[in-house]
Structures are given as structure tokens and as C-alpha cells.
Structure 1
């Protein structure tokens, strides 16, 4: 589970990431990143629209993404937003994990 200190909740923060962050995408997710060091690790938010599916499917995708990002709390980003695309509904957990890790790397985020 993603710790409360690492959750992005305010709409102003989401807007900041969408407007000023770098972006990287594939067919499952779009990862928006604002780089910068943070002692508590990055704050992470998720966007899963109704295009992904009904409420059950959206929540399943969101839970998977939250669990995946809990493993990436050692990245050198300040703010991260993971936006699920409709293909994420049919993706397996492993496909989503690879997609997120690849897009974080393409966005220029380093681990460690």
C-alpha cells in the first residue's frame, strides 16, 4: 500500500504536474513527472477515467497501479501522476508493472 505521506490528493498538485511536468506514454499508461529531490520520496497520484471501464474495473486498475508505485518510492522525482489508458483494463499486473517502470525510466526518473 502507498503510505499517506506519498499520496497526491489536491487538484492544484495534479494541475501542476500536468502543466509543468515531463510526460512519457505507452498503450497502457501515461506517466507525468515533476523532477526534484524530496526527502519523503515522491508524492504519487492516479487518474483512471470512465473510458477505462466501470467502477469495478477502474478500482482494480487503480489498486494495481498503487501497488506498483509503492515499489518505486525510491525514485528521484518530487511529483508523479500515473494516468491509466483504456488498454490498462485488459492488461495483466506484470504488463502494467513493466509499462510503469519503462515510462518512469523514459521520463528521466532514476531509482535510488
Structure 2
């Protein structure tokens, strides 16, 4: 189980990470990641001053994300029945719990499971997760893959 401080819980947080973060896809999952310095940095479309500060409040992180790395999971009905979806979510949660310490502080991560994840073992999901995190450059190449049994 992930500690409460390490969970993304609000839909605004999920959409912020998916919309403004970087993405790395694998055959069984897609990982979206957003560093907090990216979340606060106004993009080129905001540099013109076309939006009000109140509109920018909707895209700012909703909690003090400088403190810890937070993770959320998206497992749609396309993955399978409720039993399969919950099994995939539990496996991904366990794998991410082991990797939290290796991620930069304040990183927001959304892991989206794809339909082939329902047939995958924890080892295969862990390998895909490590590959995606390394591609996003938020997991160092020399960090051992923990928890990928």
C-alpha cells in the first residue's frame, strides 16, 4: 500500500500530469511524469499573458508537491473485469512503492495500464515500468530494478 502522502487523488492532479507531463509508452503500460518545476513553469502559450492568474490556479499542483513524489494509476475497463483491473492496480502499486525512493522528490507520476497488462506477470510489468521511467529520465540507469519479481 502506498502511503497517503504518495498518492494522487484528485482528477485535477491526474489531468495536470497527463496534459503537461512527459510520456513514455510500453506494450503493457504508459507512464506520464511531471516534475514540480515543470508544473510551475509557464509554458509558451501562457507567456503572452492571455490567461488570468485565476485560470492558472487550475493547472497548479493542488498540494505541496515539493515534499514527496506522488503516484496515481489508471486502469480502464478495457483491461478486463473488475477482478483483473484490481489485480493489475495492486501489482503496479506494489512495484511503484518499491521505486518511490529512487524517483526525484516532488515528481508526479500517472501509470496507465493497457489491455495486455491483464495477462502480464509482475516481473513483466516491473520491466516495462523500469524501462518507461528510464526513458523519462526520472530513474537513473544504474539504479537496480527493485520489486520486479
Shorter-chain TM-score bucket reads over 0.9
Unaligned runs of 5+ in 2: 38-64, 144-149
CA deviation profile, 1:56-76 (whole Å, cap 9, x unmatched): 000000000000000111201
- The alignment partner of 1:9 has SS state of coil
- The alignment partner of 2:77 has SS state of coil
User: What is the match of residue 58 of structure 1?
Assistant: 85
Distance in 1, Cα, partners of 2:108 & 2:15: 11
CA contact (8 A) 1:23 1:31 kept: yes
By percentage of residues, which structure has more strand?
A: 1
TM-score (norm 1): 0.93
Kindly name which structure, 1 or 2, has the bigger radius of gyration based on alpha carbons. 2
User: What is the match of residue 112 of structure 2?
Assistant: 83
How far off its partner does 1:39 sit? 5.2
Aligned residues: 112
Q: Mapping of 1:1-112 within 5 angstroms?
A: 1-36=1-36, 40-74=67-101, 75-76=103-104, 78-111=107-140
TM-score (norm 2): 0.71
